[in-house]
Amino acid sequence: MSTEEQKERIELLQGTLDLLILRTLILGPTHGHAIAKAIEFNSDEVLQVEQGSLYPALHRLIKREWISVEEGTSENNRRAKFYRLTAKGRRQLKLETSKWDKLAGAIARILRPAEQENES
Amino acid sequence: MSRRNRMLDDLEQDIRDHIEIETRDNIARGMPPDEARYAALRKFGNITRVQEDTREVWSFVWLEQLLQDIRFGLRMLRKSPGFTAVAVLTLALGIGANTAIFSVVSGVLLRPLPYPEPERLVALASYDSLPNMEDIEKQSQSFEALGANTMQRLDYTGGAEPIQVFAITCNAELFQALRAKPALGRLITADDDRYGSPGAVVLSHGFWTRQFGADPSVIGKSIPLSGNPYTIVGVLPETFWLPGRPGDVYASLRVVYPAAAQARNVHFLDTYLRLKPGVTLPQAQSEMEQIDESLARAYPSFNQNRHRRLVPLLDKIVGDSRRALLIFFGAVALVLLIACVNFANLLLGRSASRQREIAIRSALGAGSRRLIAQMLIESTLLSLAGGAAGIVLAQAGLRVLLALSPRNFPRLDGISIDARVLAFTLSVSLLTGIVFGLLPAWTATRPGLGVELKESGRTLAGSRASLRLRRTLVISETALALMLLIAAGLLIRSFQKMESEAPGFRPENILTMRVELPAARYEEIPKQRLFRAQLLDSLNSLPGVRAAMISELPMSGDSLSHDLVIEGRPVNPADAPEVQTRTILGDYFSLMSIPLLRGREFSGQDRADTPVVVVINETFARKFFSSQDPIGARIGWAAETPVHWKTIIGVVGDVKHFGLDQPEEPAAYDLYSQTDQPWKRWMSIAARSSRYPSELTREVENQIWALDRDIPPSSVLTMKSLMDMSVDPQKFNLTLLAIFAAVALALAAVGIYGVVAYSVTQRTHEIGIRTALGAQPVSILSLVLGEGARLAVFGTIIGLAGAAALTRFMASLLFGIDTRDPLTFLAVAVILICVAAAACCIPARRAMRVDPMVALRYE
């Protein structure tokens, strides 16, 4: 049913979203909207983030002390929260990235023979 | 402020900023402002859910949600105080009744016996004798200790006035079996427990406190008990408890009553046996069966067919009360079930009226799980409040229950609403709230909510199903209530039958008291005989008083039996039938108005030096002389060698000796003056007089004390109150079940009222149209009453079937009527339908007054 599907999609996004946020912040502290934009932009608009789900993810990362918050001023001169990658977050990003590579590689290895079979 | 609070405080602002930036971006891309904002919102998603999900990150979310739901629930309940009060009261009745009964069930059936390792304590199901116990001890391997005891009344003349004390006469092993420890001094030891040992006595804590002001220096003192000196060797702790026996003093049976202790064929001892560690009851039982056989071989005339049966001590103590308690518990569970059904019904009605609120909340993004949780929390809050109020009710109810309880109900001392009971009440409350809240919550949040919003408040689609559900609930609670009413009705009819039973004598204006002559001063028969004759003379010389004596007074609980032999009918001693024997002096039969049916009564001509004569009762004549005239036949007791023959001179009517609900047994009356025994030193005085019992008591006591200053009369009661006491258990059962049934009936009536009233509200529109089209008030009335009647009739039919199936379990509580007594079934069904009709009257009146204009404007 619809709620089940939704839940699955959110869960699928969550881990990935954390990784993408950390990756985005490596370029420097920025505020919430800019993070969402950056993710969309950098993925060539493939990943359509439901922007709201960014906030639970940000809070989760803060709680784990992978990112920190500071007051700052946005492009249009408004007070905004800027999120900054911590040292711990940086380590975590490395770890997560290598994990992701392994996962992606493994999935690719599983998928490739199947493709070959289909071709032959 | 914690990091968490700081973060969450800013969240709303963050989200607003985010959407604003997005909106501005969209405008910059060329969208019109309205569309730009809408697109931004859509891209952001469900704001409420984002906020909730974010809060959830900070982990306490479930607790927070719970607290929030509880706060919201409390607010909702405060907003509808009427609903809340009815719901809480309904549950308080159900839970309170259950708590009160459970505290008794817990105290009587579940509370462990107050002895170390109580599970190793067993008892013989029937009484036994000390010589048999000695043999069992020698031949058995299963037991660590074989305790035996009985209670006797002894005269204590060491205080200001002579009093009777309850003496537990026991063997030394009793204390080992129960693992009792003295509070002071020592207990009865094997040395004290030998024939001919000097008298040693252990005091109960209560007696020590009452008589000696808890003076520790009493150890070693000598006190007179029934004229013999006993040395106080110890005091028991306050916590020591002997099942059913509030003993004052404890002494060795072999010392107090050596003749009875040595009699193998007189079975009068309660036995408390402790199994050795690791020995099971079946093992001990099979060993006991071998011992039965060997005892039967060794003493063929006394030990045939004894079939000793071991039971757990707790079972022996609780006895028949278990069944009564379980029936009460079942009945009270039905009451709770009815209360719960009513509760569910109330919730259903309420959720129907809240459908718009629920629909709005769900449209605003509340998940159905969250909505159900919210409703469950509300129902649980109600049930917990009901439970708390129920505990208050239970406390009062328990006090009443204990005050009403029959005097021989076991283990009622120390019953209270303890931790176990509170845990029970808490779980029942939680369960009630969750289980009976679930159905309404689930129904209320079912899909199809969009319909509720679109329709203008008057909804039919959802409420039809809910009304059907509510009707089913009401039918089932009506059926349950009917079953309880039938149970109570059967008990009421039994009680009427019992009270209308002729006791066989006229109990009015008769005062009774029991006197026992102390062994030390009245060992010889002539002294006893003189005392009796003098006392009877002096009582009969009191103006307006007629007095007589009998050894075993009807309904006093006293009885004595002998094995019967009839002259000319040889019988194996082991097979001799048992008959009741009662010894009288004076004009007992005419004083009690017991009719003489044949032959003659005793007269002044029947003296010690004339042939011994007996008068038998009707049952005796019917059972043993159905084909022969009993008058002139001679009977005797099998245990006598040689048999002392007694001639039957008359037959008198039966009396209900064992209580109004018990059949009389064959009984033979003889005369103190002819059959005196040195040991038969007790008698009950029956005095008929129109004076006040208290005044008469004083006068009779004065006559006794004029003969002997040191004799304490006991059991001073009027015959009427003795008779009433004999039906106390039935009265207790009846009162209790009647209360439950009344509560059940009231709850069912409320349930029917609720559903009919709700359906009238739902059908206001329809009724308005009918009235507008010319329907007469009578037809509206019959419309509403018809609905209530249908519910009641369905409920009644199901209830009658249920009762017919279940009442057989209460057969043992009934007297003189069938478990499916048609009159009771019919009367109860009529009562229930009448009450149901009455409950429909208020909604019916409202329906008749529906103004068609107002009703139609509802649109």
Q: Which is higher by pLDDT, A2 or B379?
A: B379
Per-residue confidence band for B600, with pLDDT thresholds at 50, 70 and 90:
very high
What is the mean pLDDT of the segment spanning B803-821?
A: 87
- Among B7, B18, B58, select the one facing A51 at the smallest CB separation: B18
Element (H, E) at B848: helix B822-848
- Which comes out higher in pLDDT, residue B446 or B99? B99
pLDDT of residue B97: 92
Q: Are residues B428 and B572 in the same domain?
A: no
d(CA B233, CA B219): 5
- What span, in angstroms and rounded, lies between the C-alpha atoms of B20 and B394? 61
Phi, psi of B207 (to 5 degrees): -65, -40
What φ, ψ does residue B843 adopt, rounded to 5°? -60, -35
Rounded-to-integer distance, Cα B159 and Cα B161, Å: 6
Under a CB-based contact definition with an 8 Å cutoff, are residues B531 and B522 in contact? yes
* CA pair distance B300, B277, nearest whole angstrom: 33
Per-residue pLDDT tens digits for B346-363: 888 787 777 777 777 777
Note whether A19 contacts B: Cβ–Cβ < 8 A: no
Distance from CA of A100 to the nearest CA of B (A): 23
Both B677 and B754 in one domain: the answer is no
Cα A40 from Cα A46, distance rounded (Å): 7
Q: How far is CA B653 from the centre of its chain?
A: 35
Closest-approach residue (CA) in chain B for A75: B21
Select from B817, B503, B818, B493 the least CA-distant residue to B660: B503
* Residue B412 in domain: yes
Residues of chain B neighbouring A5 (CB-CB closer than 8 A): none
Per-residue pLDDT of B244-277, as tens digits, reads 778 899 999 999 988 888 888 778 899 999 999 9
- Do B357 and B458 lie in one domain? The reply is yes
Say how far apart CA B425 and CA B699 lie, in whole Å. Answer: 54
Do B700 and B774 lie in one domain? The reply is no
Rounded Cα–Cα distance for residues B701 and B698 (Å): 5
**pLDDT of res. B483:** 92
Helices B61-79 and B81-105: angle between axes, nearest 10 degrees: 110
pLDDT for the residue B368: 74
| pLDDT for the residue numbered A11 | 39
Instruction: State chain B's mean pLDDT as an integer.
Output: 87
B31 CB neighbour count, 10 Å cutoff: 16
B357 and B472 inside one domain: yes
Q: pLDDT of A38-87, one tens digit each? A: 887 777 666 666 777 888 888 888 888 888 888 877 666 767 788 888 99
Specify which residues B637 forms β-bridges with.
Answer: B564
DSSP3 helix / strand / coil % (chain B, rounded to 5): 55, 15, 30
Report the distance separating Cα B782 and Cα B167, nearest Å: 71
Asked if A50 has any chain B CB less than 8 Å from its own CB, the reply is yes
- pLDDT value, residue B2: 65
Residues of A within 8 A of B39 (CB-CB) are none
The arithmetic mean of pLDDT across residues B46-72, rounded, is: 78
Name which of B35-49, B139-153, B664-678 the model is least confident about.
B35-49
- Report the distance separating Cα B78 and Cα B82, nearest Å: 9
Please give the average per-residue pLDDT across B156-176, as a whole number.
88
Indicate the residue among B251, B286, B308 that finishes a domain.
B308
Nearest residue of A to residue B42, measured between CA atoms: A50
DSSP B110: I
C-beta atoms of B54 and A74 within 8 A: no
Of A56, A60, A69, the CB nearest to B50: A56
3-state secondary structure chain A: CHHHHHHHHHHHHHHHHHHHHHHHHCCCCECHHHHHHHHHHHCCCCCCCCHHHHHHHHHHHHHCCCEEEEEEECCCCCEEEEEEECHHHHHHHHHHHHHHHHHHHHHHHHHHHHHHHHHC
The better pLDDT of the pair B61, B602 is held by B602
pLDDT score at A47: 65
Return the exposure string of B541-555: e unless at least 16 CB atoms fall within 10 Å of the residue's CB, then b. Answer: ebeebbbbbbbbbbb
Q: How far apart (Å, rounded) are the C-alpha atoms in residues B309 and B62?
A: 58
Question: What does the pLDDT look like over B451-492, one tens digit per residue?
Answer: 444 544 444 445 566 778 888 888 998 999 999 999 999 999
What are the CA-CA distances from residue B493 to residues B585, B729, B734, B828 (Å)?
38, 15, 10, 12
Give the DSSP H or E segment for B200. Answer: strand B200-203
CB distance B591 to B688 below 8 Å? yes
Q: What confidence category does residue B145 fall into, taking pLDDT thresholds of 50, 70 and 90?
A: very high
Q: Is B717 among the domain residues?
A: no
User: Is the CB of B21 less than 8 angstroms away from the CB of A59?
Assistant: no
Beta bridge partners of B126: none
Same domain, B136 and B204: yes
Higher pLDDT, B527 or A104: B527
Max Cα distance, chain B (Å): 137
Identify the three-state secondary structure at position B59: coil
The values of phi and psi at residue B442, to 5°, are -65, -45
Total number of residues shown for chain A: 120
B315 found inside a domain: no
- Test mutation, B14, B20, B23, B369, chain A, max A CBs within 10 A: B14
Of B3, B44, B53, the CB nearest to A56: B53
Residue B180 lies in a domain: yes
Distance CA B345, CA B339 (A): 10
Q: Domains in chain A, please, with CATH? A: 2-119 (1.10.10.10)
Indicate whether A2 pLDDT > 50.
Answer: no
Position B54 scores a pLDDT of 81
**For residue B421, what pLDDT is reported?**
93
At residue B415, what are phi and psi to the nearest 5 degrees?
-80, 130
Closest CA of chain A from B39, distance in Å: 12
Q: Within chain B, how many helices (H) and strands (E) appear?
A: 29, 21
Residue B144 domain boundaries: 126-308
Question: Percent of chain B, pLDDT > 90?
Answer: 45
The alpha-carbon gap from B36 to the nearest alpha carbon of chain A, in Å, equals 15
CA B62 to chain centre: 44
Answer yes or no: do B336 and B255 share one domain. Answer: no
Task: Identify the pLDDT of residue B631.
Answer: 94
pLDDT of residue B683: 93
Residues of chain A neighbouring B47 (CB-CB closer than 8 A) = 52
Which residues contact residue B779 at a Cβ distance below 8 angstroms, ignoring those fewer than 6 apart? B770
Residue A115's pLDDT is what?
54
Answer with the residue of higher pLDDT: B339 or B265: B339
With contact defined as beta carbons under 8 Å apart, do B820 and B804 qualify?
yes
Ramachandran assignment for A44, one of left (phi > 0), alpha (psi -120 to 50 degrees), beta (any other): left
Q: Average pLDDT over chain A, rounded to whole?
A: 75
Looking at the structure of chain B, the number of domains it has is: 4
Tell me whether residue B75 is in a domain. Answer: no
B851 versus A22: the higher-pLDDT residue is A22
B7 neighbourhood in chain A, CB within 8 Å: 59, 62, 69
Is residue B118 a part of any domain in this protein? no
Q: Are residues B624 and B603 in the same domain?
A: yes
Give bridge partners of residue B234 from the DSSP assignment. B185, B202
Burial class (CB in 10 A: 0-12, 13-18, 19+), B558: middle
Q: What is the pLDDT of residues B272-306, one digit of tens each?
A: 999 999 999 999 999 999 999 888 888 876 666 67
Counting beta carbons within 10 angstroms of the beta carbon of residue B265, is it exposed (0 to 12), middle (13 to 18) or buried (19 or more)?
Answer: middle
User: Do residues B211 and B282 share a domain?
Assistant: yes
For residue B111, being part of any structural domain is answered with no
Q: What is residue A10's predicted lDDT score, i.e. its pLDDT?
A: 36
Span B600-606, mean pLDDT? 91
Question: Strands, E, within B521-577: which ranges?
Answer: 546-550, 561-566
Provide the angle, in degrees to the nearest 10, between the axes of the packed helices B3-28 and A32-42: 60
Q: Kindly list the residues from chain A whose CB atom is less than 8 angstroms away from the CB atom of residue B44.
A: 50-52
Answer whether B260's CB lies under 8 Å from B253's CB.
yes
CB B699 within 8 A of CB B687: no
> Which position has the higher pLDDT, B541 or B733?
B541
Residues in chain B: 859
Shared domain check, B653 and B533: yes
By C-alpha distance, which of B377, B515, B367, B421 is closest to B102? B421
The 8-class DSSP code of residue B606 comes to -
What is the interface pTM, i.e. ipTM, of the complex? Answer: 0.76
Contact indicator for B478, B831 with CB cutoff of 8 Å: no
In a domain, B486, yes or no: yes
Q: How confident is the model at residue B847 (pLDDT cuts 50, 70, 90)?
A: confident
* Range with lowest mean pLDDT among B29-33, B139-143, B244-248, B617-621: B244-248
Taking the C-alpha atoms of residue B577 and residue B581, their distance in angstroms, rounded to an integer, is 13
CA-nearest of B165, B158, B161, B143 to B229 is: B158
Encode B143-176 in three state secondary structure.
EEEEEEEEEEEEEECCCCCCEEEEEEEECCHHHH
Distance CA B168, CA B282 (A): 30
Q: Which pLDDT score is estimated for B47?
A: 83
Do B470 and B527 reside in the same domain of the chain?
A: no
Task: Indicate the pLDDT class of residue B616, thresholds 50, 70 and 90.
Answer: very high
Q: Is the pLDDT of residue B95 over 90?
A: yes
Contacts for B158 with CB less than 8 Å, ≥ 6 apart: B211, B223, B224
Tell me the CA end-to-end span of chain B in Å, nearest whole number.
54
- What Rg do the C-alpha atoms of chain A give, in angstroms? 17
Which residues of chain A are within 8 Å of residue B17 when distances are taken between CB atoms?
31-33, 74, 78, 80
Tell if the CB–CB gap between A53 and B22 is shorter than 8 Å. no
Contact state of A32 with B17 under an 8 Å Cβ cutoff: yes
**Rounded to 5°, angle at Cα B6 from B5 and B11:** 95
Measured distance CA(B46)–CA(B364) in Å, rounded: 9
Q: Which residues of B touch A77 (CB under 8 A)?
A: none
Interface test with A, best of B27, B54, B61 (most A CBs within 10 A): B54
Same domain assignment for residues B670 and B696: yes
Task: Kindly state whether A77 is in contact with chain B, defined as any CB-CB distance less than 8 angstroms.
Answer: no
pLDDT at residue B400 is higher than 60:
yes
Question: Which residues does B contribute to its contact with A (CB < 8 Å)?
Answer: 3, 7, 10-11, 14-15, 17-18, 21-22, 24-25, 43-47, 49-50, 53-54, 56-59, 367
**Does residue A105 belong to the interface with chain B, where contact is any CB pair within 8 Å?**
no
What residues have CB less than 8 Å from B459, skipping those under 6 apart?
B352, B355, B451, B452
CA distances from B338 to B470, B492, B733, B773 (A): 13, 22, 21, 40
Given this model, what pLDDT does residue B521 score?
A: 82
